Amino acid sequence: MPVYDYVVVGGGTAGSVIASRLTEDPDVTVAVIEGGPSDLDRDEVLTLRRWLGLLGGELDYEYTTTEQPRGNSHILHSRAKVLGGCSSHNTLISFKPLPSDWDEWAAAGAAGWGAEEMDPYFGKLRNNIVRVAKKDQNQIATDWIEATKTALGVPEVVGFNDQPFEEGVGFFDLSYHPETNKRSSASVAYLHPHMEAGDRPNLTLMLETWAHKLELDGTAAKGVHVRTKDGEEVYVEAAREVLVCAGAVDTPRLLMHSGIGPKRDLEALGIPCVLDLPGVGENLLDHPESVIVWETDGPIPDNSAMDSDAGLFVKRDPEHKGPDLMFHFYQIPFTDNPERLGYERPEHGVSMTPNIPKSRSRGRLYLTSADPEVKPALDFRYFERDENGVDYDGDTLVDGIKLARRIAQAEPFAKWLKREVFPGPDVTDDAEISELVRKAAHTVYHPAGTCKMGAADDQLAVVDPELKIRGLSGIRIADASVFPTMPAVNPMLGVLMVGEKCADLLHKAPTQGGDA
């Protein structure tokens, strides 16, 4: 039975950070349990512009959603099955969460996680965070930025991470190496230097190994039961702590299969409940978005960092803290969902994706079987009306389509466009727009919140502000599942900062086993 000081479940965005930081001390041993293979020397993973080819492939867990009465029931929620997790899979759009995002966490009971306390962790990140390089600044994206400034009167932002913003348009900051178009993912930035140098003998990577149950001794977490790619069952013990970093889907899944979660649900499946924690799997968050597609008048220039290099933030409600509508600008016709509705993909085209920074949907993740191999059910409850019958999220998308059309009429962007493909120029009624864009809605792959952090009196809080699971010792969670609320911006840097803060908390913790 292998024993390590710390066992990290999940070698993804936060797990890579924590494993790297803990093993800076040569006297500390760490094992990382990662379900996927290494990303070293895998060009299809490391080349940023090849990200679309990873979706639905062998390195994707491919989670689906339950029936969504007012949304799209056909969304594939890609989750990465590779070292580096979703930072090895996504577009690496890199935003420091806004001060209002962190302060919202503190107000929600995450004491010590306000903007002032969290800001220093941005400076600790090892990723190469840079603005889309000049050579990658596609001319149509450049013209789109100019047209957006004209049409909407928003400022251009050069460096979204330089200072907090509420509105603005510009090229994104990305975690990449522009000279090679290679990722600066969590694994590349935090693990590869040591994997290549062989200078961390105290770090063990257990790849293609799947954690399926936590070992508990009363209320103390002791280790993890894992299955290797050859089917061998192994128990890995943690002398100090187990750190669960498996993400917003697989972290609550592991907890529930270990008997930690809503008692009634677990017992209905025949899983003995060890700790009744009703919040496990609740508060499922996302950034829903839809799409408007144009055919362009011929091909567009080929240079790009990853085909969605620019974006826009708008603040419609002056009372709202931060932006309340966001767009990615795709230099490709993004038509997967419109095609299912009968629309045809143009040979050449571009898209804008109206996105809801602060979605009011609150979904739920739950088990449907006691078999750990069976995927959990994800019910995002997209576009459900509130108690007053208002669909804030759907209305936000309608506003987005209208703003996008204004941009499409402004030069120098308008000269590129031949026609609107989806929803189509004849679709002008709000109810009709809403119906179509909800049916064609998709995800930006930002599930979060399913083991949320909160105060002691919050019945649905799963972890406390030190990331410790309520009612257990020797175990913490550090990944997007602990988000109490969703940042207005793409959350990857937020997850990295959670990893850095977790490492900090561990360095300050006592060293004896279950009390750590």
pLDDT digits (tens, 9 = 90+) for 353-382: 999 999 999 999 999 999 999 999 999 999
- Is 82 a known ligand-binding residue? yes
* pLDDT tens-place string over residues 153-180: 999 999 999 999 999 999 999 999 999 9
Could you tell me which residues are beta bridge partners of residue 419? 295
- Write out the two tokens for 83: 């070292």
Strand boundaries in 80-161, DSSP class E: 129-131
Instruction: For CA atoms 443, 444, 450, 454, give the dihedral sign.
Output: negative
- Quote the pTM value: 0.97
Residue 323: burial class (beta carbons within 10 Å; 0-12, 13-18, 19+) = buried
Going by DSSP bridges, is the β-strand pair 3-9/233-244 parallel, antiparallel, or unpaired?
parallel
Are the C-beta atoms of 84 and 13 separated by less than 8 Å?
yes
Catalytic positions are 446
Q: Indicate the DSSP class of residue 193.
A: H
User: Is residue 510 helix, strand or coil?
Assistant: coil
Q: How much is the pLDDT for 254?
A: 98
Low-confidence ranges of the chain (pLDDT < 70): 511-516
Q: How much is the pLDDT for 93?
A: 98
User: Is residue 464 helix, strand or coil?
Assistant: coil
Residue 344: partners with Cβ closer than 8 Å, 6 or more residues away:
335, 421
Q: How much is the pLDDT for 511?
A: 59
Closest residue by Cα to residue 346 from 442, 417, 415, 434: 417
Q: How much is the pLDDT for 431?
A: 97
The CATH homologous superfamily for domain 3-508 is: FAD/NAD(P)-binding domain (3.50.50.60)
Q: How much is the pLDDT for 183?
A: 98
Are the C-beta atoms of 475 and 241 separated by less than 8 Å?
yes
- Write out the two tokens for 200: 């961390």
- Say how far apart CA 417 and CA 210 lie, in whole Å: 48
- Say how far apart CA 28 and CA 46 lie, in whole Å: 29
